[in-house]
Amino acid sequence: MLKIFIFMLAFQITQKELQLNFRKIIVEVRLNALDFDVEFYAVQLRKLAAFHQSGKSLTEVKIQVDATIQHMKESLGKDKTQQVAKWYELLKALEKFNRNTAHPMWMAVIKHAKHRIKSRIQTAVYCRQHFNR
């Protein structure tokens, strides 16, 4: 029996129950990766572009854009094929807001985000080609 103390409460879990719970968690994580919503991150990036357009400094917004993209990378998991597909999906979601009439401050943030996303795509493609053998 393993004893786990969480928030000052003691639970007794058998080895078999622990293994079953671990398998459930792995399955839930994989299902969440398949149902990954890219639109959430596209909206976050558009909000950051709006913040910059409203007067927030470009360096602060770029740091937040990088943090948002890093969070998405961590949420995607290790499957490089899926990463490439989701990065392309995000890139396509950002392309919808590429207009020649857009404010230059807005476009500076979107351009930075697209550059970072394209870099992530290239890294995932390279890793998939060279390390998935």
pLDDT digits (tens, 9 = 90+) for 28-39: 444 444 567 899
What pLDDT score does 117 carry? 95
CB under 8 Å to 104, separation ≥6 — which residues? none
What pLDDT score does 2 carry? 33
Span 42-98, pLDDT tens digits: 999 999 999 999 999 999 999 999 999 999 999 888 888 889 999 999 999 998 877
* pTM of the entire predicted model: 0.70
Q: Tell me the three state secondary structure of residue 35.
A: coil
Q: How confident is the model at residue 8 (pLDDT cuts 50, 70, 90)?
A: very low
Give the chain's end-to-end CA distance (angstroms, integer): 40
Q: Which residue has the higher pLDDT, 3 or 67?
A: 67
Contact (Cβ atoms closer than 8 angstroms) between residue 84 and residue 121: yes
What pLDDT score does 133 carry? 52
